[in-house]
Amino acid sequence: MLWAKFETELEKSNFVFIHDDQQNGQIEGILRGLPAISYAGITTVTCPKSWLQLDDSTRHELYEYEWSLLQDIRAPDESIIAATTQYYEDNLAVYSIKTLINRFTSTDHTLCVIADEESFQPSGAIRPFREEPVVDCAWEYSDIYDAYQEYYEDCDVQLPIAETKNLFVQDNANMYRLATGDTISSIEELVAVLPDAPYLPFVRGVSSIFSKDGGVGSEPLESNEAIEDLGKWLRRRLELEYRDGISIAKSLNDYATSHERLFDSAGRRQMPDMNRAREARRELAETTNPIHERYHRWFDRALT
């Protein structure tokens, strides 16, 4: 499937279904496809609020999108991604997207459903959602990612981390290479370089987790339970085994103490490594490559 075909069909369709089958019936990686869909133009998301939280009521977002509570979407006036699982449909009626589907039948906007099973079936339905007459197209997320990989290669940009199909993570690795000349080939390597790469969007994305009240400096999570919760939060966005998720969560938590300015927006902008971002931004200033244009915007945002 060509990326251009995916982009065109996503734009013109009323109902889109994407299944991203998860290992062992778990929800690791269920949100990994959000960057791919948002890059194609749909930037509003609804999903269970608990997926956005740690051990309190504060919402955190690794990458950019607007989140709406499912129950608040009364009369859809924009296209929306609804991320869910069969478990939520079967066991937690308040999170069922059945009503949302009904509301989108009378709009010209797109409802893009991302679920964890190809056979995903909304509560009360008599057939899998992908077989419903209203569904204009159904894809497996891996095929969408493959299409993006072709698109990136056409733009002379690589996807260097083989273990993830999260485009946002790939973009962070590419920005690090543009700033330093060094290649990142794993999620663990990306996390390891974060203290020396305060300009990366990944740093900004996790900053709210560690920011002190009042916004000055950062502080670590207070308990092993909170760190484990962060590991779970990461695993919903990245393809991580339990042990790897906990290991990365511990590394990030350690940075909140050992690199306090890293998660403080004002302190971060004063870090010496930001000079690399300034140089990378300058080199990308005249680009016509749409992917590099995104990187230029992200470097600029980190610096201002």
Give pLDDT tens digits for 116-160: 999 999 998 999 999 999 999 999 999 999 999 999 999 999 999
Rounded distance between C-alpha atoms, residue 77 and residue 138, angstroms: 23
Q: How far is CA 203 from CA 39, 192, 256, 257, in A?
A: 20, 12, 11, 15
The DSSP H or E segment spanning 281 is: helix 274-283
> What are the backbone angles phi and psi of residue 70, rounded to the nearest 5°?
-50, -45
> What are the backbone angles phi and psi of residue 139, rounded to the nearest 5°?
-135, 155
Rounded distance between C-alpha atoms, residue 103 and residue 97, angstroms: 10
- Name the residue with tokens 């499912």: 70
pLDDT at 117: 92
pLDDT at 23: 57
Give pLDDT tens digits for 39-61: 999 999 999 999 999 988 889 99
Rounded distance between C-alpha atoms, residue 107 and residue 159, angstroms: 36
Question: Rounded mean pLDDT of 225-249?
Answer: 94
Rounded distance between C-alpha atoms, residue 175 and residue 285, angstroms: 14
**Nearest residue to 279 via CA among 205, 179, 176, 153:** 179
Give pLDDT tens digits for 256-297: 999 989 999 999 999 999 999 999 999 999 999 999 999 999
pLDDT at 214: 66
pLDDT at 22: 64
Rounded distance between C-alpha atoms, residue 16 and residue 135, angstroms: 6
What number of other Cβ atoms are within 10 A of residue 119's Cβ? Answer: 13
**Nearest residue to 255 via CA among 197, 195, 186:** 195
**Any idea how long the chain is?**
304
pTM: 0.95
> What are the backbone angles phi and psi of residue 140, rounded to the nearest 5°?
-90, 135
pLDDT at 57: 83
- What is the domain partition of the chain in residue ranges? 3-145, 158-303
- Statement: residue 161 has pLDDT above 70: yes
Give pLDDT tens digits for 20-35: 986 544 567 899 999 9
Strand partners, 111: 15, 80
- Name the residue with tokens 């919402």: 59
**Mean pLDDT lowest among 74-83, 154-163, 209-218, 236-245:** 209-218
Whole-number average pLDDT of the chain:
93
Alpha helix (H) residue ranges in the chain:
3-12, 34-39, 86-91, 98-104, 141-154, 167-180, 187-193, 201-210, 224-235, 242-258, 265-269, 274-283, 290-303
Query: Could you give the 3-state DSSP secondary structure of residue 162?
Result: coil
pLDDT at 211: 87
Query: Could you give the 3-state DSSP secondary structure of residue 157?
Result: coil
Q: Which CATH architecture has domain 3-145?
A: 3-Layer(aba) Sandwich (3.40)
What number of other Cβ atoms are within 10 A of residue 151's Cβ? Answer: 18
pLDDT at 223: 92
- Statement: residue 179 has pLDDT above 60: yes
The DSSP H or E segment spanning 246 is: helix 242-258
